[in-house]
Structure 1
Amino acid sequence: VIEFVQFKERLQRSSHYLMAKIEAPILQLKQNSNNIDEVECILESLRCGTHSLELSNEITSKSLTFNEDLKLRPWWTPTSDKNYLLGPFEGVSSCPRENTHNQIKQTEENVLKTVEKRSLLPRMIYLSIYSASESVKENLEANGALADSKLSLELKILLERYTNILDFPFQDAVELVFGFSSGQKPFEAPSPDLIDWMNFAVFLNARNLNSHEIKFSDTDPSSTSTWNLVNNMLRKYVTETIRCTGPVVSSPGSHLPFLVQLVTEPLAWHALIIHSCVRSLHPSGKKKKKGGSVDQSNTQLLHEIQNSIQSLCDTIEMVTRWLREQLNTPDDEKFEALFPSILRNGRNDGPGKVFKILESSSSLVKDVEVGARILEAVQSWSPAGVVRKIITGQRSLLSEFLKICELKLKSLQTVRLQL
């Protein structure tokens, strides 16, 4: 009993367990992001998104346990987020064992930052949806300016907290996303940080619909609103990621996970905000006016929403075209392209060398050492079989991603019909 209680206490303080609890509701929101009513039900069950925040505040105030002994990791991957085999590396001397303590400390700090950052998402999604909705409704003050609601004010506080986690003051963060959108900041290799910045841009747009704090230059047509800011960023990074990735078969690891996250997070949140605005433009039970479906005060917003829907549709269609190109390539053709390249790379380095090591090692395995079942599995292993499994796995993943994109496109087209 004592051991069970101790285990339960350790589990409650586990960083992996906490991350799973934080990510679970985010996954639910992503899976249901095409249906705003479902999203609202999920957020309601999460106490309007505050549940994750409370969980993060409660747990991170305690001493978390990190259930991994980094001292046992091989030199080429000292932490789970680093793999020197995938990029330029200066040699073993650049990551000596005496740095292990610093690496462990840095990893733990990164985990805590990630937990806090991800725990903000459900609440910011909730605030963005309802803040955007408020901006559409007729909550105008006497001077015609939108009232800065409690929701909008709280959203700004969370956005400032979010940018602090990213090590940027709020105003500097705003300038940075404008640099991303306008092209002043060049495209970098896909990374989780870019997803964070695009999430920030999406929520910043929702906040600005109500506050209008961010002013724009009339002389620059590319940055006339935060709607354009988000649309440009999404289109730009989807385009660049597809261009950098190329045929998936030529780079099985590729940037596909980044592309999936682009579509299922910032793009999905942006679509939810659009849906919220459209729903507020046409409250249920009210008929569209003849000669115009919205009030004059919302004409500009309607134009922005229409442009945003078109931009998102174009962006998703770009992804679906690329996915279909990958799926239309026969598996045998993919095999012929991938397998010889692995064998060629096997002379001195690359995955082919790993294949050869495994192949030679498997021939030395004996029944008495591993058992009959394991021996049978090892003896049936072959590089060609592994390549075919990689291709099959790719096809399954690409097909699932294509379904996600098609459903999202259909959802946006349905929203467009409501305008």
Structure 2
Amino acid sequence: MFLTSINTLFTHVAKLFWRTRDLGYLLESIIILEFGLTTRSYKSLDVKNILLETVSHHILPQMLSSPLWIDSNNILREYLKFMDDHFRESADLTFLAYRHRSYSKVIEFVQFKERLQRSSQYVMAKIEAPILQLKQNSNNIDEEENILESLGHGTHFLELSNEIRSKYLTFNEDLDLRPWWTPTYDKNYLLGQYANLYEEFIFLFSKIKCRIMLSMFNSRPFEGVSYCPRENLHDQIKHTEATVLKNIEKRSLLPRMIYLSINSASGSVKQNIEANGSAVDPKISVELKTLLERYTKILEYPFQDAVQLLIGISRGEKCFEAPSLGIIDWMNFAVFLNAWNLNSHEINLSDIDTSGSGTWNFVNFLLKKYVMETIASAGPIFSSPGNNLSLLVQLVTEPLAWHGLIIQSCVRSVLPSGKKKKKGGPSEHSNCRFSNEIQNSIQSLCDTIELVAKWLREEIDKPEDEKFDAIYSSVQIEGRNNGPGKVFKTLESSISIMKDVELGGRIHEALCSWSCADVARKIVNGQCSLLSEFLRICESKINLLQALKLHL
């Protein structure tokens, strides 16, 4: 009865948040869940393996766009372990069914195993796990090369991508059973204005692992409204499945493009600064361009049109209108395009760059532009939770990180190799020019990340009371007749009454220690931890770039 009441109350408050997008209703929803878990935390509510595997599909995408790398790694590892363990056990189950002449079960087990092996969620997790490793180690090019070597220099995922294109993937989801806040694979109604708080909620959800939370969180916002109309369901399925396939293919290209970009950059530097420098392997340039063309095709642009779009943006002639994830994809393309052009020299930007730095300044400008725009539109994170934090995290940990790797590769190549070079010759002149280009790029990248770090420090250093009030004030009803806060007040007064009632030692102790304000403090602390972890990532990159400047 208690669990049903909590579930009903949560559902109604969640409906109000959905209708109004008022932060107070979301806070009240979390308060209700916390209260329910405090007073009725039974072991029987633990999520079992198969249920945890299912809900991880909803948790993982948000975690991968956050700076909580350790937790993301844990979710990926547990998910992949569950799947791999199931595949190993499947053979035994199939044999046992055959031995007992349950032939229908044999067919069922085999078909289910094949379906899971072709699961889009499983394939995506296998791709994202090493990409997360690459992001975590992007400050150390030697370690990065070791990871890439273990991945066959990215060829494993190219093979996987080619296999995906020729085989049918399964999606293992019924859209009718999806949560109301994400009716299809590529839609999430809670992302945007309240994304950061939502990420904290989903992270808390992943930690608690409670079946009651799963049933509540999947509840429809209100009756009578369909977010995926039945008549459009088939088209929605086709569209979202095509989107997932494109995303899988796009992500599968990243490790190989990172490897080729590192080698293209280092090879071109050596060729220019060393006397009689050996030519860069032409296969690297050809393959990298092929992958860039394939990448832009996924973005629904021909290669040359994509290049012209970015050039137009850098000239101020064009505006780039794309969803958040689109910006990450395009900035990744700009970074790898620069690495390819260092060797091919096919893109001439002399009309907009008289310094002769070519695509170095071009990519530096684009990265700084979108970081600055993202920060400018973010606003105070505690009074407007969510904003563009996820986009900012992805900008720093993907395109800016890959650009940093290319710079590391160039610095390593510029360093003296022990060979004596004739002073004043063309080799020394080339060395000086390349050193200046790399120094300028290091400084630009350092300045760009410092902008992010400065914004994060300002948010973290705000007084604790100011952070708390920004959250807690959303459920205060003084001076208001409407809006959130009524459930909050009712719950507070009910707790005061129940403290004087004989409810048993454990429940009485839980009620005495319970405070609605503590929930708001937990949210603030969670957000501070999130920002602090992101700041740590930024500061580590700044320290690396400052150290690289000393080598030149």
Equivalent residue for 2:525, pick from 388, 392, 413: 392
8 Å contact from structure 2 (residues 378, 389) kept in 1? yes
Are residue 19 (structure 1) and residue 124 (structure 2) matched? Answer: yes
- Call closer, same or farther: CA 1:76–1:265 in 2, change over 3 Å: closer
* Equivalent residue, structure 2, for 1:35: 140
**Partner Cα separation in structure 1 for residue 513 and residue 169 of structure 2:** 43
Deviations 1:53-108 (A, max 9, x none): 112222443221212211123666421432446679xx958853321221111111
- Aligned to 1:249, what secondary structure does the other structure show? coil
2:238 equivalent in structure 1:
105
Per the alignment, residue 193 of structure 1 pairs with 326
Structure 2 gap ranges (5+): 1-92, 95-107, 194-223, 496-504
Residue 51 of structure 1 is matched in structure 2 by 156
Amino acid at match of 1:17: Y
* Structure ranking higher on relative contact order (CA contacts 8 Å, 6+ apart): 2
State whether residues 148 and 210 of structure 1, in contact with CA within 8 Å, keep that contact through their aligned partners in structure 2.
Answer: no
Listed as ranges, the matches of 1:46-195 within 5 Å are 46-73=151-178, 77-84=182-189, 96-138=229-271, 149-186=282-319, 188=321, 191-195=324-328
Measured after TM superposition, the shift of residue 379 of structure 1 is 11
Runs of 4+ in 1 over 4 A off after TM superposition: 3-7, 84-88, 91-95, 142-148, 187-190, 219-224, 283-294, 342-349, 353-360, 372-383
Q: Answer whether contact 1:147 1:211 (CA < 8 A) is retained.
A: no
**Contact 1:148/1:211 (<8 A) preserved:** no
Whole-angstrom CA distance in 2 between matches of 1:322 and 1:264:
16
Q: Deviations over 1:124-144 (max 9, x none)?
A: 00000001111111379x999
Identity, in percent, stands at 68
Note if 1:306 corresponds to 2:411.
Answer: no
Rounded to whole Å, the distance in 2 between the matches of 1:119 and 1:378 is 50
Q: Is the 8 A contact 1:182 1:222 kept in 2?
A: no
- Report the Cα offset of residue 386 of structure 1: 3.5
Match of 1:410 in 2: 543
Can you list the C-alpha shifts for 1:152-179, whole angstroms capped at 9, x where unaligned?
Answer: 1110000000000000000010011123
C-alpha distance in 1, partners of 2:550/2:155? Answer: 33
Structure 2 SS opposite 1:65? coil
Residues 218/77 of structure 1: CA separation in 2 closer, same or farther (3 Å cut): closer
Q: Quick one: distance in 2 between partners of 1:354 and 1:95?
A: 32
Letter in 1 for 2:167: K
Alpha-carbon distance in 1 for matches of 2:507, 2:301: 52
Q: Does 1:213 align with 2:341?
A: no
Number of residue equivalences: 406
TM-score normalised to structure 2 length:
0.65
The structural deviation recorded for 1:375 is 12
Instruction: Check 1:227–1:381 CA distance in 2 against 1; reply closer, same or farther (3 A cut).
Output: farther
Distance between the aligned counterparts of 1:394 and 1:272, measured in 2?
Answer: 29
Note the C-alpha offset of 1:399: 0.9
Matched, 1:238 2:371: yes
Q: Which has the larger radius of gyration?
A: 2
TM-score, scaled relative to structure 1: 0.85
1:8 CA displacement: 3.3
Residues 281 and 294 of structure 1 are in contact (CA less than 8 Å); yes or no, is this contact kept in structure 2? no
1:43–1:145 distance in 2 versus 1, CA, 3 Å? closer
Q: 1:45 to 1:87 in 2, by over 3 A?
A: closer
The aligned amino acid for 1:276 is S
Deviation at 1:37, TM superposition (A): 0.4
Q: In structure 2, what is the equivalent of residue 9 of structure 1?
A: 114
Name the CA distance, whole Å, in 1 between partners of 2:454 and 2:439: 22
Which whole-Å CA distance do the structure 2 matches of 1:80 and 1:171 have between them?
30
- Corresponding position of 2:450: 317
The code of the aligned residue for 1:275 comes to: Q
> Structure 1 residues 101, 148: closer, same or farther in 2, change over 3 A?
same
CA-atom RMSD in angstroms:
3.8
Structure 2 residue identity aligned to 1:41: N
Alignment match, 1:297: 430
Question: Does the 8 Å CA contact 2:421/2:427 hold for their aligned counterparts?
Answer: yes
Residues in 1 aligned to 2:373 and 2:184: alpha-carbon distance in whole angstroms: 28
* Contact 1:146 1:211 survives alignment (8 Å): no
| CA positional deviation for 1:335 | 1.2
Distance in 1, matches of 2:287 and 2:192, equals 41
Deviates more, 1:378-387 or 1:36-45: 378-387
Q: 1:65 is matched by which residue type in structure 2?
A: T
Aligned-pair CA distance for 1:358: 11
C-alpha separation in 2, matches of 1:348 and 1:182: 50
Task: Could you tell me which runs of 5 or more consecutive residues in structure 1 were left unpaired when the two chains were aligned.
Answer: 364-371
Distance in 2 separating the partners of 1:18 and 1:407: 31
Asked whether the equivalents of residues 157 and 253 of structure 2 are also in contact (C-alpha less than 8 Å), the reply is yes
